[in-house]
A and B are shown apart, each in its own frame.
Chain A
Amino acid sequence: MHDTAPALELHDLTVAYHKKPVLWGIDLEVPQGKLIGIVGPNGAGKSTLIKAVMGLLPISSGWVKVFGQPLKKSLQRIGYVPQRESVDWDFPVSVMDVVLMGRYGRLGLIKRPTKEDREVARACLEKVHMLPYANRQISNLSGGQQQRVFLARALAQESDLYFMDEPFSGVDAATESAIITLLHELRERGKTMLVVHHDLPTAREYFDMLILLNMRLVAFGPTSEVFTNELLQTTYGGRLTILSDVAEAVKEQRILR
């Protein structure tokens, strides 16, 4: 019934760490079935945006809607690829165990993964060419392989909206193009993907739309329209330091919740 609703809608989203705002009043309406890049300098708040939208961080003001519904109701439709550094790769689990975790959300509490879940997990591993590694412990993987395991786990979630935090970091060119092919395939099936990406030249090539971010939303639109020198300069240039000064002041005065 909400099929035409935007995949993601943010209204006046402000996010703060320890009362110091790092994202200011973001308004965004992301249509369905697009591959969208999020770009901005280090510390721009890209990871923060993703985490806040998924409810991993408290938001200071504003609201989030996913497929026209509040976040809580659409958790099942969201998939997540965190930054690779966010977990301990010496953890005693196998590649298969990690990919199966992608099924956990659908299972709900208590229930165990079934045979079908295993089948899905194997298929997802196959898609990222990691099936031969299914029974390896995760610490024996290279960086690019770890990234592909995370991707397989997200695929196993079978979601409609994906958030991916730097899926291309530490990945060689061949893997990168394999992942891009995979993402295009997902787009053909009507999925929406928001991908944090650091390399501007390839960003222009890969994504349908771009979110330019630096503590505030600098621009959002089709790549051909927003990939301009002027907008990029605003995003990456030094002029936004005023915002961080103000953020410090806000923290001192304890203005936010």
Chain B
Amino acid sequence: MTTGAIALCLVISTSAEAAKVSDLTSTNIGEQALRFFSLQDPSLRFALVGSILLGITCGLLGSFIVVRKMALVGDALSHAVLPGVALGFLWGQTKDPFAIFVGATIAGLIGTTVVSLIKQTTRLKEDAALGLVLASFFAVGICLVTMIQRLPTGNKSGIDKFLFGQAAAISAGDVRLMAFVTLLSIATITVFYKECLVTSFDVGFARAAGFPTQLIHHSIMLLLAFTIVVALQAVGVVLVSAMLITPAAAAYLLTDRMHRMLLLAALFGMIAGVLGAFLSFLGNNLPTGPFMVLGASAVFVCAFLFGPKHGVVVRWWKRRSRSGRIRRENALKSIYRVLEERDFRDEGVALRELAQLRRESIEEARAESVDLSRHGLVSTHEEGNVLFFTPKGWQRACEIVRNHRLWELYLTNAVQYAPDHVHEDADVIEHVIGTETVREIERRLQFAKRDPHGRLIPGLEDIYPSTAGRRA
């Protein structure tokens, strides 16, 4: 249903944009960029300041929308304001920011009231009610906008800019309104941070503790309506909810504290806003909204991929480096076993012996030894055919064997697994178990010397030799 509406908007706005798109090729992009950042042009200054302001307030309000799970409310509200914009326009007969602000806010409030009425009087749930209001209000808005465009003054009216946004059309009056709303949002959220937090997290508890939860909810809704209305000029009705949700969602991926999420979201909103205004200007005043939303989405994708905690790339990288480490540690363990079988008499281990024990080809064993020596764990001799532990490699090998055997012993003794069940389990655990846990296990096993298969468990004195112990 929304797709249909968007198609309709496109039809309306194409006529206006068609000429501009063809201008694009004839414009020197470098020159344009210079003009943008030199900020000579007052209208450019307004566009830039306006985009920054709206980025901040969208990020702040959006954060609360996201954690309160009201994303759909933002979308519905932004579509519901369109008839108000049109009526405000008709009332003033020009693009009077104040008239449009009042009209849009009233329409938004009527929209939310209708939603709650539908919820209270019918069995419909919130999502259905929101969808209903969103579509019907937007339809009315589109009809009104089309009507205005047919008026004699309609073509120059600039009302079509409210659909997809036009940062260049931001006037001094718009900037003043934006600054007011941004300051109001910042002030409200800083002064009433505690109240906003507790009502968003646990509304029942907040009410029981005596907080006016309804009032707080309505204040947030009103601020949201204000934000949407002032953002319309730059982002447009259709996409403004994306500017609310996307920066906040990106911030949500990056942090797990509300105050940090607010700061990040405001920053991301700002970046998206400036990026949108800039690109739209480069493209000779293409609609700003889509560019801002693209900017915000780019930030989101970056957060999704590169977030330090939950990012896909980081997780992949960690997994990769862990599996590399496990491979190396297993090879070290095998070298230790080879040495152990001949009672540590001869210190060099031939590649062939290693391959035999690990049941792999010489080439595989060679690749492993190269990896090990690159990490300074073994040194290679005789053209890479014989391996010697470095002190660091010896230490690590002892640790791993020790972890493995202690864990096996623990499983058989304390948890009473059968000895033939424990080997595989220990193969995984030995790489992840911490020193603290190992000590604890050792204590519980009363410092046992031999594993369930009767082999010696390397002691701490082997790993951290105080006297010059055996080493390669």
Q: Which residues of A contact B (CB under 8 A)?
A: 51, 54-56, 75-76, 78, 80, 82, 86-88, 91-94, 97-98, 101, 104-105, 107, 109-113, 137, 139, 153, 157
Interface string of B255-271 (1 = CB under 8 A from A): 11110110000000000
**Residue in A54, A56, A92, A101 whose CB lies within 8 Å of B198:** A101
Additional 19 contacts, C-beta under 8 A, given A54-B208, A97-B197, A104-B198: A56-B207, A80-B204, A82-B202, A86-B204, A87-B202, A91-B201, A92-B256, A92-B257, A92-B258, A93-B201, A94-B257, A97-B258, A104-B194, A104-B209, A105-B209, A105-B211, A107-B194, A110-B191, A111-B194
> Lowest 8 CB-CB distances: which A-B pairs, in order?
A105-B209, A137-B256, A75-B210, A80-B208, A54-B208, A92-B256, A87-B202, A92-B258
CB A97 to nearest CB in B, in angstroms, measures 8
CA distance A100 to B151 in the complex (A): 59
CA distance A112 to B191 in the complex (A): 9
Contact A80–B205 (Cβ < 8 Å): yes
CB A93 to nearest CB in B, in angstroms, measures 6
- What are 14 inter-chain pairs, A to B, with CB distance below 8 A? A51-B204, A54-B208, A91-B67, A91-B200, A91-B201, A92-B256, A93-B257, A97-B197, A104-B194, A104-B198, A107-B194, A110-B194, A137-B257, A153-B205
Residue numbers in B under 8 Å from A104 (CB-CB): 194-195, 198, 206, 209, 211
Contact B210–A76 (Cβ < 8 Å): yes
Interface string of B58-89 (1 = CB under 8 A from A): 00000000010100000000000000000000
**Residue in B204, B211, B255 whose CB lies within 8 Å of A92:** B255
**Residue in A86, A109, A157 whose CB lies within 8 Å of B195:** A109
Interface string of B206-238 (1 = CB under 8 A from A): 111111000000000000000000000000000
Contacts A75-B210, A104-B211, A110-B192 hold; do A92 and B202 have CB atoms under 8 A apart?
A: no
Contacts A86-B202, A157-B209 hold; do A93 and B194 have CB atoms under 8 A apart?
A: no
Q: Which residue of A lies closest to B69 (CB)?
A: A88
| Interface residue? B252 (CB, 8 A) | yes
Residue numbers in A under 8 Å from B202 (CB-CB): 82, 86-87, 101
Residue numbers in B under 8 Å from A97 (CB-CB): 197, 257-258
Residue numbers in A under 8 Å from B192 (CB-CB): 109-110
CA distance A86 to B205 in the complex (A): 10
Contact A75–B208 (Cβ < 8 Å): yes
Residue numbers in B under 8 Å from A86 (CB-CB): 202, 204
**Residue in A101, A109, A139, A157 whose CB lies within 8 Å of B201:** A101
Please classify how large the interface on chain B is, using the bins under 10, 10 to 19, 20 to 34, 35 or more. Answer: 20 to 34
Contact B207–A55 (Cβ < 8 Å): yes
CB A118 to nearest CB in B, in angstroms, measures 14
**Residue in B195, B209, B256 whose CB lies within 8 Å of A75:** B209
CA distance A104 to B210 in the complex (A): 9
Q: Which residues of B contact A (CB under 8 A)?
A: 67, 69, 191-192, 194-195, 197-198, 200-202, 204-211, 252, 255-258, 260-261
CB A235 to nearest CB in B, in angstroms, measures 26
Residue numbers in A under 8 Å from B208 (CB-CB): 54-56, 75, 78, 80
Contact A92–B261 (Cβ < 8 Å): yes
CA distance A98 to B209 in the complex (A): 14
CA distance A75 to B211 in the complex (A): 10
Contact B67–A82 (Cβ < 8 Å): no
Contact A92–B210 (Cβ < 8 Å): no
CB A27 to nearest CB in B, in angstroms, measures 23
CB A196 to nearest CB in B, in angstroms, measures 14
Contact B207–A93 (Cβ < 8 Å): no
CA distance A112 to B190 in the complex (A): 10
CB A248 to nearest CB in B, in angstroms, measures 15
CB A13 to nearest CB in B, in angstroms, measures 17
CB A107 to nearest CB in B, in angstroms, measures 7
CB A117 to nearest CB in B, in angstroms, measures 11
CB A100 to nearest CB in B, in angstroms, measures 9
Residue numbers in A under 8 Å from B252 (CB-CB): 92
Residue numbers in A under 8 Å from B260 (CB-CB): 92
**Residue in A92, A101, A110, A111 whose CB lies within 8 Å of B205:** A101
Residue numbers in B under 8 Å from A98 (CB-CB): 201
CB B203 to nearest CB in A, in angstroms, measures 9
Residue numbers in B under 8 Å from A94 (CB-CB): 256-257
Residue numbers in A under 8 Å from B211 (CB-CB): 104-105
CB A18 to nearest CB in B, in angstroms, measures 9
Contact A92–B67 (Cβ < 8 Å): yes
**Residue in A54, A93, A157 whose CB lies within 8 Å of B197:** A93
Residue numbers in A under 8 Å from B205 (CB-CB): 80, 82, 101, 153
Residue numbers in A under 8 Å from B67 (CB-CB): 88, 91-92
